[in-house]
Structure 1
Amino acid sequence: MTERLTAEEYKDAHAPKGKGKEDRRRVRGAQRTITADGITHDSKTEAQRWEELKLLQRAGEICGLRRQVDIGLIGRDGPIMTDGGEQQRVYKADFVYVDNALGITVIEDRKGHETDVFKIKKAILAAQGVEILITKAKGH
């Protein structure tokens, strides 16, 4: 006799182990990566860029290196709010630092693929006068 499973039992049996829900923010198979200093990054290329930027900071070429920095989105009538209206929508920059040679703050995003949501946020930031430096991994 064959044992029958309900749809819920089948889903539970085939769910990824050790994780809750599937992370739908992953783009094109990007895998979270942990760097030597224990920081979790959204992709291998982001982790590689973090290591490069740390070297540039040690060399004195950049300073004030930060990661995952929230930048509020502002529209014509003020802050762009979430659907519930309780929080301001934000763009989360991969890296923010000061380029010492140019004397400017750089907002950088490491991309393998630009999503539609990213393109919209980039356009909103451009209207605010904020430019994003997009770096791509070699081979992309």
Structure 2
Amino acid sequence: MDRKVLVIEDATDTLTSLLDLIESQGFQAIGAKNGLIGLQLANEQLPDLIISDINMPEMNGYEVLEALRQNTKTARIPFIFLSGEESNASRRLGLELGAADYLTKPVINKQLMDAIAVQLQKQCISH
């Protein structure tokens, strides 16, 4: 069974390269170009992991994470922020809201894939 990874990213080039990277590692990659679409896809697809940018139009990554955590269907899906926001305050807020990890752009492919592997492994252990 393919593990599903949802990527929420408003920059089209970044979204495409992330989806390509994730698919090249054997995962089913789902893309959303903003937080509202991402939230809808998370509820429909119930991915094994979500990676999200923070600064997006309409609904930012923090708002997406808060909405996911309030829904029993999506509350336990591991969530990784991948953002250009490098401040400690941004990182702290993301983790306080329930993100499993917080990576900054530009990210090294291996670093991202390692973070994905760690979260999926934790998810398997907790089930």
Give the TM-score of the pair, scaled to structure 2.
0.34
Which structure shows the bigger proportion of residues in strand conformation? 1
The TM-score, its normalising length taken from structure 1, stands at 0.32
Larger radius of gyration: 1
Higher relative contact order (CA 8 A, sep 6+): 2
Higher helix share: 2
